């Protein structure tokens, strides 16, 4: 199962997931000016980041919105970036957050698990109901694919819905998490985790401990590290026995060159240094 590949990648390379949420404005000026088209510069930038970090990251997450914003040419970069990640033998997470039902969800599954936009995992939104997850399950079962389902996010607006108390004195996200883990029971890998994972923002340590304990078979995609304010101590509570999750950082890695000496000329080296620092910070905190 794909979850076993991801688990093994974490064991070998660490917990870092590089978010290739690449905005044109992130490209160093001199590098950007080498290319006739902005789209070419973005793809070559992504390539350099991937090449520099490949041996120290568990996976890459590509947020589709940044590429949709560039139109048709941007979607070609999205396609090429996913292909490049997978050609390198790495695991690609397509951050698409789809959340529809019936035939529409079937088409989303086909679009992002087959053809031009094929990836290994995709993010989905279950808050329309668990029938919004069902159309993806045949790919999980038969095609070595996986899902990361939104569970408890770290944005301020999460309190509007996810934190509402039910009649049973449980938060909405607790109920959603239980449903995710129940669906995931049919897709448990040898590592003990399901190929149906969950997105859990790395905030609120006490909540994190409870979430990790409650959903012990659910592998986590953990955003919020770095530019969003999360640190290694925040992340560590969402892991179990040194594994069980990958930790995403996007701007903190892509823009790390701004804090490096002569950074624009060596942006890929700076990204590698940022990855190594993040990897080691998390490993140290786990050992503590």
What residue ranges do the domains of the chain occupy?
A: 2-287
Enclosing H/E stretch for 94: strand 92-98
Compute CA distances 12 → 35, 51, 54, 102, 193, whole Å.
36, 17, 12, 39, 17
Whose CA is closest to 225, among 196, 201, 258, 260?
201
Active-site annotation holds for 217: no
The mean-pLDDT minimum among 44-58, 133-147, 167-181 falls in 167-181
Lowest-pLDDT choice from 33-37, 167-171, 206-210, 277-281: 167-171
Q: What is the pLDDT of residues 123-150, one digit of tens each?
A: 999 999 999 999 999 999 999 999 999 9
Q: How confident is the model at residue 228 (pLDDT cuts 50, 70, 90)?
A: low
Let me know if 234 is exposed, middle or buried by CB neighbors in 10 A (0-12, 13-18, 19+).
buried
Non-local (6+) Cβ contacts of 222 within 8 A are: 199, 200, 201, 202, 235, 238, 245, 246, 247, 248
- Maximum distance among all Cα pairs of the chain, rounded to whole angstroms: 60
Tokens of 249: 């950082």
* pLDDT given at position 277: 96
Secondary structure element (H or E) that encloses residue 61, with its range: strand 59-63
Which CATH superfamily, name and number, covers 2-287? Aldolase class I (3.20.20.70)
Q: By C-alpha distance, which of 124, 118, 140, 63 is closest to 95?
A: 63
Give mean pLDDT, residues 231-247.
92
Would strands 220-222 and 16-19 be described as parallel, antiparallel, or unpaired? unpaired
The one catalytic residue in 73, 97, 110, 240 is 97
At 229, is the pLDDT very low, low, confident or very high (cuts 50, 70, 90)? Answer: low
Confidence category of residue 227, pLDDT binned at 50, 70, 90: low
Task: Give tens-digit pLDDT for 63-108.
Answer: 999 999 999 999 999 999 999 999 999 999 999 999 999 999 999 9
pLDDT cut 70: percent of the chain above it: 98
Q: What is the total residue count of the chain?
A: 288
């Amino acid at each position: 199962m794909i979850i076993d590949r991801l688990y093994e990648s974490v064991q070998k390379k660490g917990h870092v997931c590089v978010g290739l949420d690449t905005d044109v404005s992130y490209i160093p000026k001199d590098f950007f000016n080498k290319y006739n088209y902005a789209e070419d510069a973005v793809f070559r930038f992504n390539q350099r980041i991937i090449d520099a970090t490949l041996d120290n990251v568990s996976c890459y997450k590509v947020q589709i919105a940044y590429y949709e914003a560039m139109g048709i040419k941007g979607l070609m970069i999205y396609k090429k970036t996913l292909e490049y990640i997978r050609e390198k033998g790495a695991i690609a997470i397509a951050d698409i957050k789809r959340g529809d039902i019936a035939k529409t969800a079937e088409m989303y599954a086909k679009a992002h698990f087959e053809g031009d936009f094929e990836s290994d995992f995709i993010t989905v939104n279950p808050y329309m109901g668990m029938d919004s997850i069902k159309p993806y399950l045949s790919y999980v079962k038969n095609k070595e694919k996986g899902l990361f389902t939104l569970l408890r996010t770290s944005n301020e607006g999460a309190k509007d819905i996810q934190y509402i108390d039910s009649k049973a004195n449980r938060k909405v996200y607790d109920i959603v998490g239980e449903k995710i883990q129940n669906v995931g029971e049919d897709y448990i890998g040898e590592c003990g985790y399901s190929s149906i994972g969950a997105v859990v923002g790395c905030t609120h340590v006490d909540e994190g401990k409870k979430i990790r304990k409650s959903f012990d078979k659910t592998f986590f995609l953990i955003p919020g590290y770095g530019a969003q304010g999360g640190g290694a101590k925040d992340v560590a509570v969402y892991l179990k026995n040194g594994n069980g999750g990958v930790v995403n950082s996007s701007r903190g890695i892509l823009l790390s060159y701004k804090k490096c000496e002569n950074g624009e000329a060596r942006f890929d080296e700076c990204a590698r240094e940022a990855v190594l620092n993040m990897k080691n910070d998390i490993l140290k905190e786990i050992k503590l």
